[in-house]
Amino acid sequence: MTDPSAAGACDICRIHASAADARVHQLAGNAPLAPVSGANDFAALECHRGPHWIVRHHPLPAPLVGWTCLSAVRHVQGPADFHDAEADEFGRALRTVSRAIREVTRCDRVYAIAFGQGAPHLHMHLIPRFDAVEATRAWQIADWYRAVERGEHAPADPAAVAGFVAAMRDILAANPPGATSSNTRLVRSARAVAPPRAAAGPRLTAKLRADIHETAVEFVAARYQLTADQRATLAATPIRWRRGRGASAYYQRHAHGFDRPHILLRVAPGASAYWHTYRRARARYSTPPGGIELETRILAIAVLIHELTHALQHGACGHGKRAFSEVETTENEIEFIRQHAPQAFAKLIPVVRRTRKKVRGVRGAPPPPSGLAALRAIVLRAAGTLAGLIQPRKAAVIEPRSTRPRTRSPKPTGS
């Protein structure tokens, strides 16, 4: 610790010192997990100690099993005061410990919070977040913390905390926070490092394509009560299969080697992919930032359902052409996810539709001006006319609408 006076007044530094015993693992194995009162308790909760970082479970009684603190060994208030080694290791340490918490607790995500107001010594609170426990969502975790502190909610089971600490020690012993692997070196330049190549995904075999196509057609046919002939017509819509990310679309004109209406369907590489809906579609639900991870086959079926709905809207099965509705196509896609991937559907965010105020008179017309505003406009116009500032407007020239047929394919609507 570089600042003895500051360390002497810092609670975090005192906790570090109380647990810094050569027999820390022996003490951790023998000490009972009771409310923190001595060095043995802090040693029992310590998951890892390295040259720059200490990982320790929250003192008992803990709000949640897995509530962990990543603390700097040196007395440092925050990242702004890191030296080079701490700065280089901080991101990797945060990643390593967060992954270990997720692996042990099987949580949905890990919150990372650091204030440093109560103790001006960097200690990141890494909190497992379970979507099933709604009371711990986002800032509500603070209310949960206070409820446990006041005795209004039961704290974490000490035996479960002991099991978490033991599992974390095994993981962090093999992969210390902040350390680089043997085949990785730090790049100290502004040159970008190429990201690792994505893992190989399922091949677009004929069997996989047939399965995706048949499932999507069956879903759309059942949803719209299509006859056998209409279903056969919809199934006969050509599909151009592509592997890769990007927007799929239903095309009505010549494109991609087809001279009739067809669907361009892109199947993302990898065993899983991230699914997005769009707020501009004004559907009932929206995906959170970053999307929702889905199995590639499920995602491909949902996207194809989206595009088959477009085909129906444009009269592919003999129905009259209907008004284009991105809401309908997106809701069909979401309905398939609800039936076949309920865990992903549970992560969708309901969209609150904004209500627009109605204006008297013609729809879309601005509200009538107030009397004062009308009088002010008359005075300004009269003054401008006298000063010669206002020129008469030229008559509008309306050009005849072009009759040239459109040859370009419509913009992909995406899904």
What phi, psi does 161 have (nearest 5°)? -65, -40
Q: Which residues contact 119 (CB under 8 A, 6 or more apart)?
A: 10, 11, 12
Q: How many CB atoms within 10 Å of residue 77?
A: 14
| DSSP H helices in 247-392 | 296-313, 326-340, 342-345, 371-387
Question: How deeply is 63 buried, as exposed, middle or buried, from its count of CB atoms within 10 A (0-12, 13-18, 19+)?
Answer: buried
CB-side neighbour CA atoms (13 Å) of 369: 8
Output the pLDDT for position 394.
55
CA 8 – CA 250 distance, rounded (Å): 69
Q: Which residues contact 72 (CB under 8 A, 6 or more apart)?
A: 52, 53, 54, 86, 121, 122, 123
Q: Which residues contact 45 (CB under 8 A, 6 or more apart)?
A: 28, 33, 36, 56, 57, 58, 59, 60, 161, 165
Q: Looking up tokens 């009560």, which residue turns up?
A: 225
The pLDDT tens digits for 208-240 are 888 999 999 999 999 888 888 888 888 888 888
Output the pLDDT for position 135.
80
pLDDT tens digits, the chain, 415 residues: what are they? 344 444 455 777 777 676 654 443 343 333 333 333 344 477 888 898 888 899 999 888 888 899 999 988 888 888 888 888 888 889 899 999 999 999 898 888 899 988 877 778 888 899 998 887 888 888 888 888 888 888 888 888 888 898 899 989 988 888 888 776 533 333 333 333 334 444 455 667 888 888 999 999 999 999 888 888 888 888 888 888 888 777 788 887 777 777 778 888 888 877 888 888 765 556 778 888 778 888 889 999 999 999 898 888 888 776 666 655 777 888 888 899 989 998 888 888 887 655 555 555 555 555 565 666 677 777 777 776 666 655 555 555 545 555 545 444 444 444 4
This prediction's pTM: 0.41
Q: Looking up tokens 């006041």, which residue turns up?
A: 150
| DSSP H helices in 123-227 | 140-149, 158-174, 206-224
Output the pLDDT for position 379.
74
Output the pLDDT for position 371.
66
What phi, psi does 222 have (nearest 5°)? -70, -35
CATH number of 4-174: 3.30.428.10
CB-side neighbour CA atoms (13 Å) of 20: 11
Output the pLDDT for position 122.
86
H or E stretch at 285: strand 285-286
Domain ranges of the chain: 4-174, 206-350
Which amino acid is it at 254?
A: H
Token duo for residue 344: 């992903």
The pLDDT tens digits for 65-110 are 999 999 888 888 888 888 888 888 898 999 999 999 998 988 888 9
How far, in whole angstroms, is CA 372 from its chain's centroid? Answer: 50
Crossing angle of the two packed helices 296-313 and 206-224, in degrees rounded to 10: 50
